[in-house]
């Protein structure tokens, strides 16, 4: 991990090309170093964090005074860092008969603060949880004494998790787990705390900043979607081609345990919705055999979206995997025990994340846990089916190769789309797609579940969510439209994003036909579209021009009166 000193040196570098994100930090201890660490880490992540830091111990004043600098600054993200030391101070001050209710009262005040923040700012709130302090008043007995400080602190952490799971814009940054990893002796330096009011040691600052940055990145739509794994000495011990299937190390004995546990971890990622692919230098049939027949394998062929085992260069294989999955290289993690292969991949595909796996397989998991590669800010039930979706896509690609005529192929797919307004069932998926659509996204305005609910209940907006299924399977909800009633005549296309897994199916035409029909039936004269370029959405640069919109000063305009339906083989699902 980089040192605080290095992060600080980044502050002098040029941030001017990076995206600006406005962050407010409210702390009850000195946070200047944390601010510097975050800002410096922003450089590494190509983000220009514009940070406003509240004066020391001003949390309540800044939040409850609606004319405070906090509201004037108008941040996108508010970080609230209330330390365990101040928490202990509060606990010490109140009457002992109040100790039993301590955590509940604290939680009430946190909830209250959150609701004031969220009703007056369009910001996400990142709240740090509480690192454990055992004041050793009751010894082990604290664990069965509800009014002890340790009991109340753990209860507060637990209650915070329950609160956050019900508040879509409240995120917890788990600094308590950092203290568990590095130990309190390393997390907290008493001499520094006494002389400066800083509760984070210099050495732990980069870790706390990293954990915070993971959340900021995820909120910003930057997260990992796929993990590509090597096989020999990564997924199992030994070399399948030399040792044979009966001699690879896996299962409960000896070093095999390390590989089995690694596989279980990969399997859990797959169940969470991370795509698993294999890239191995092996003969395909030999490499597949353990997945099909070895009794101790945790991973099976059905867990793997794309399987590449051959003797070609790994960088080329990874490029092929990427093109099948149609996701950015920066959302892929590559795990390989061989430093040589890791370097080849890093050199050829710099965007990809290639962890420097430790030499001893026993250390694989602890090392990977610590990297926190798979941060996310949302989860929907659809995630669990993602592997299947990509396997179906691979099937479709095969069938497509049989048709020489594109129209014939599309007709043959027998595509159906369900068209609905936003509702409480599709809201989580809509919000999720809003966070993760980068390429086919015309304006890239990110909406959370709360935003989606607000939009769908407003009279000023018209919303459409589209699913797509065909004879091979169901892609689920793949496209979202938000129309803003700009005036009586014009509908502004506030949002148009689509999952890249349904490109080239004529979905754009189908959607346009659909919204033009709505416009005509409701007396609107024109649609107005806008393209806001980002690093990733060049694919839709000419989207509106291709669909027949006219480029005007105010954006792309389409008169709907004499509109001819565009060619589409998708039917509305009744």
> Which phi and psi (to 5°) does residue 116 adopt?
-65, -45
CB of 380 to other proteins, least distance (A): 44
From the DSSP assignment, how many helices (H) and strands (E) are in the chain?
Answer: 23, 18
Closer by beta carbon to other proteins, 33 or else 496: 33
CA 182 – CA 190 distance, rounded (Å): 16
Closer by beta carbon to other proteins, 192 or else 245: 192
Binders of other proteins in range 174-193 (CB under 8 A): 189-192
Candidates 111, 132, 174, 203: give the one binding other proteins (CB under 8 A).
203
Find out whether 313 and 294 touch, Cβ atoms under 8 Å.
no
Query: Site size for other proteins, by CB under 8 A?
Result: 18
Which is nearest to 133 in space by CA: 81, 86, 79, 95? 86
Closer by beta carbon to other proteins, 207 or else 443: 207
Closer by beta carbon to other proteins, 30 or else 298: 30
Query: Does residue 520 interact with other proteins by CB under 8 A?
Result: no
Per residue, what are the HEC states of 63-103? HHCCCCHHHHHCCCEEEEECCHHHHHHHHHHCCHHHHHHHH
CB of 78 to other proteins, least distance (A): 23
Closer by beta carbon to other proteins, 202 or else 315: 202
Select the span of 96-104, 197-205, 268-276, 391-399 touching other proteins (CB under 8 A).
197-205
CB of 188 to other proteins, least distance (A): 13
Query: Does residue 83 interact with other proteins by CB under 8 A?
Result: no
Query: Does residue 34 interact with other proteins by CB under 8 A?
Result: no
Which strand (E) or helix (H) includes residue 342? helix 339-348
CB of 194 to other proteins, least distance (A): 4
Query: Does residue 4 interact with other proteins by CB under 8 A?
Result: yes
The residues, ordered by sequence, that sit 6+ positions from 23 with a Cβ below 8 Å of its Cβ are: 38, 49, 50, 51, 52, 75, 76, 77, 78, 79, 216
CB of 292 to other proteins, least distance (A): 53
* Alpha-carbon torsion (213, 216, 218, 220), positive or negative: negative
CB of 196 to other proteins, least distance (A): 6
Query: Does residue 9 interact with other proteins by CB under 8 A?
Result: yes
CB of 205 to other proteins, least distance (A): 10
Candidates 110, 123, 198, 231: give the one binding other proteins (CB under 8 A).
198
Query: Does residue 261 interact with other proteins by CB under 8 A?
Result: no
Candidates 16, 67, 119, 195: give the one binding other proteins (CB under 8 A).
195
CB of 5 to other proteins, least distance (A): 7
Select the span of 122-130, 196-204, 213-221, 237-245 touching other proteins (CB under 8 A).
196-204
Query: Does residue 194 interact with other proteins by CB under 8 A?
Result: yes
Q: Report the C-alpha dihedral over residues 123, 125, 126, 127, rounded to 10 degrees.
A: 160
What are the C-alpha distances in Å from 363 to residues 257, 298, 492?
A: 12, 19, 54
CB of 40 to other proteins, least distance (A): 12
CA atoms within 13 A on the CB side of 278: 25
SS3 of residue 481 by DSSP: strand
CA 457 – CA 421 distance, rounded (Å): 11
Candidates 2, 163, 202, 255: give the one binding other proteins (CB under 8 A).
202
Closer by beta carbon to other proteins, 11 or else 94: 11
Closer by beta carbon to other proteins, 13 or else 574: 13
- 307 - beta bridge partners? 278
CB of 186 to other proteins, least distance (A): 12
Closer by beta carbon to other proteins, 81 or else 492: 81
Query: Does residue 201 interact with other proteins by CB under 8 A?
Result: yes
> Which phi and psi (to 5°) does residue 177 adopt?
-70, -25
Closer by beta carbon to other proteins, 31 or else 263: 31
Binders of other proteins in range 344-363 (CB under 8 A): none
Candidates 115, 196, 458, 520: give the one binding other proteins (CB under 8 A).
196
Closer by beta carbon to other proteins, 190 or else 244: 190
CA 489 – CA 484 distance, rounded (Å): 11
SS3 of residue 281 by DSSP: strand
Query: Does residue 13 interact with other proteins by CB under 8 A?
Result: no
Which strand (E) or helix (H) includes residue 112? helix 102-120
Closer by beta carbon to other proteins, 196 or else 343: 196
> Which phi and psi (to 5°) does residue 229 adopt?
-115, 145
The residues, ordered by sequence, that sit 6+ positions from 358 with a Cβ below 8 Å of its Cβ are: 364, 367
Complete DSSP assignment for 402-440: T-SSHHHHHHHT-EEE-EE---TTTHHHHHHHHHH--SS
Closer by beta carbon to other proteins, 37 or else 491: 37
CB of 171 to other proteins, least distance (A): 28
Select the span of 2-10, 73-81, 116-124, 396-404 touching other proteins (CB under 8 A).
2-10
Which is nearest to 471 in space by CA: 566, 347, 570? 570
Query: Does residue 14 interact with other proteins by CB under 8 A?
Result: no
* Alpha-carbon torsion (195, 83, 130, 266), positive or negative: negative
Longest dimension (CA), the chain: 81
CB of 45 to other proteins, least distance (A): 21
Query: Does residue 32 interact with other proteins by CB under 8 A?
Result: yes
The residues, ordered by sequence, that sit 6+ positions from 423 with a Cβ below 8 Å of its Cβ are: 456
CB of 490 to other proteins, least distance (A): 54
Q: Which residues sit at the interface with other proteins, rule CB under 8 A?
A: 4-5, 8-9, 12, 32-33, 189-192, 194-196, 198, 201-203
């Amino acid at each position: 991990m980089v040192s605080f000193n290095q992060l600080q040196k980044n502050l002098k570098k040029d941030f001017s090309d990076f995206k600006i994100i406005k962050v407010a930090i409210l702390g009850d201890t000195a946070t200047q170093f944390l601010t510097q660490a975050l800002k410096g880490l922003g450089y590494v992540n190509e983000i220009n964090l514009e940070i406003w830091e509240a004066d020391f111990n001003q949390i309540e004043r800044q939040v409850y005074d609606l004319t405070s600098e906090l509201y004037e600054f108008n941040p996108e993200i508010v970080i609230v860092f209330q330390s365990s030391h101040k928490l202990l101070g509060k606990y010490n001050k109140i009457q002992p008969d109040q100790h039993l209710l301590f955590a509940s009262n604290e939680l009430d005040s946190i909830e209250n603060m959150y609701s004031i923040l969220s009703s007056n700012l369009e910001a996400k709130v990142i709240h740090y949880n509480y690192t454990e302090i055992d004041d050793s008043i009751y010894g082990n007995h604290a664990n069965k004494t509800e009014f002890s400080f340790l009991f109340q602190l753990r209860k507060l952490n637990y209650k915070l998790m329950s609160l956050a799971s019900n508040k879509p814009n409240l995120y917890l940054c788990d600094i308590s787990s950092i203290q568990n990893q590095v130990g309190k002796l390393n997390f907290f330096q008493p001499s520094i705390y006494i002389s400066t009011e800083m509760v984070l040691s210099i050495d732990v600052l980069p870790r706390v900043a990293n954990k915070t940055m993971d959340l900021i990145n995820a909120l910003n739509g930057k997260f990992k979607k796929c993990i590509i794994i090597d096989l020999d000495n990564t997924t199992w011990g030994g070399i399948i081609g030399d040792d044979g299937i009966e001699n690879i190390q896996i299962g409960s004995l000896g070093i095999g345990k390390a590989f089995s546990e690694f596989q279980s971890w990969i399997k859990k990622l797959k169940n969470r919705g991370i795509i698993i692919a294999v890239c191995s230098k092996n003969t395909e049939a030999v490499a597949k055999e353990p997945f099909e027949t070895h009794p101790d394998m945790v991973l099976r062929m059905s867990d793997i979206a794309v399987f590449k085992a051959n003797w070609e260069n790994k960088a080329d294989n990874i490029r092929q995997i990427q093109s099948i999955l149609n996701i950015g290289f920066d959302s892929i993690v590559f795990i390989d025990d061989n430093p040589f292969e890791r370097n080849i991949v890093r050199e050829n595909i710099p965007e990809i994340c290639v962890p420097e796996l430790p030499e001893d397989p026993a250390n694989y998991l602890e090392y990977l846990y610590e990297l926190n590669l798979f941060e996310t800010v949302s989860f929907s039930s659809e995630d669990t089916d993602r592997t299947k979706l990509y396997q179906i896509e691979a099937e479709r690609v095969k069938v497509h190769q049989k048709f020489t005529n594109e129209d014939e192929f599309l007709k043959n797919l027998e595509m159906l789309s369900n068209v609905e307004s936003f509702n409480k069932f599709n809201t989580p998926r809509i919000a999720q797609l809003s966070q993760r659509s980068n390429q086919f996204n015309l304006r890239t305005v990110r909406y959370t579940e709360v935003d989606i609910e607000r939009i769908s209940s407003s009279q000023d907006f018209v919303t459409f969510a589209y699913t797509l299924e065909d004879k091979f399977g169901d892609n689920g909800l793949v496209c979202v439209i938000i129309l803003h009633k700009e005036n009586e005549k014009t509908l502004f296309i506030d949002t148009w994003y689509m999952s890249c897994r349904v490109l080239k199916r004529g979905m754009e035409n189908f959607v346009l036909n659909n919204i033009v029909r709505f416009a005509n039936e409701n007396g609107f004269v024109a649609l107005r579209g806008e393209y806001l370029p980002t690093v990733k959405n060049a694919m839709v640069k000419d989207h509106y021009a291709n669909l027949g919109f006219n480029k005007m000063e105010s954006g792309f305009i389409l008169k709907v009166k004499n509109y001819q339906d565009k060619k589409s083989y998708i039917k509305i699902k009744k």
